[in-house]
Structure 1
Amino acid sequence: MRGQDPFRLIRPAAMAGLALFALVGTALSQAEPAVQIVPPLTGWPDPMAGEEIPPLGRPITDDVRRMRNYPEQPPVIPHSIDGYQLTVNTNRCMDCHKPQFTEGSGAPMISVTHFQDRDGQVLTDVTPRRYFCTACHVQQTDVKPLVPNGFRDGYQHAGGP
Structure 2
Amino acid sequence: MRFIPALALAAAVLLSGVGSACAQEKLLSERGDVAIEQESKVDMFRPEKDKDTIPRNFQKQPPLIPHSVKGYNITQNFNKCMDCHSKARAEETGATKVAKSHYLDREDKKHENISPRRYFCMQCHVPQYDAKPLVENTYKPATKN
Q: Sequence identity, in percent?
A: 41
Cα separation, partners in 2 of 1:90 and 1:57, compared to 1, 3 Å: same
**SS of 1:100 mapped into structure 2:** coil
Amino acid across the alignment from 1:109: K
Q: What pairs up with 1:2-151 in 2 under 5 angstroms?
A: 39=30, 55-151=43-139
Q: Distance in 1 between matches of 2:62 and 2:106?
A: 18
Cα separation, partners in 2 of 1:90 and 1:146, compared to 1, 3 Å: farther
Cα separation, partners in 2 of 1:56 and 1:138, compared to 1, 3 Å: farther
**Cα deviation digits, residues 47-99 of structure 1 (max 9, x gap):** xxxx99x8452212232111100001011111111111111111100000001
**SS of 1:99 mapped into structure 2:** coil
- Unaligned runs of at least 5 residues, structure 2: 1-28, 32-38
**Cα deviation digits, residues 11-58 of structure 1 (max 9, x gap):** xxxxxxxxxxxxxxxxxxxxxxxxxxx949xxxxxxxxxx99x84522
Q: Distance in 2 between matches of 1:56 and 1:101?
A: 34
Check conservation: 2:64, 2:127, Cα contact below 8 A.
Answer: yes
Aligned length: 110
Q: Distance in 1 between matches of 2:63 and 2:30?
A: 27
Cα separation, partners in 2 of 1:143 and 1:128, compared to 1, 3 Å: same
Cα separation, partners in 2 of 1:95 and 1:56, compared to 1, 3 Å: farther
Q: Distance in 1 between matches of 2:78 and 2:137?
A: 36
**SS of 1:113 mapped into structure 2:** helix
**Cα deviation digits, residues 80-129 of structure 1 (max 9, x gap):** 11111111111100000001011221111010010011221111110011
TM-score, normalising length from structure 1? 0.61
Q: Distance in 1 between matches of 2:104 and 2:119?
A: 11
Which structure's CA Rg is the greater one? 1
TM-superposed deviation, 1:140: 1.2
Q: Distance in 2 between matches of 1:127 and 1:80?
A: 24
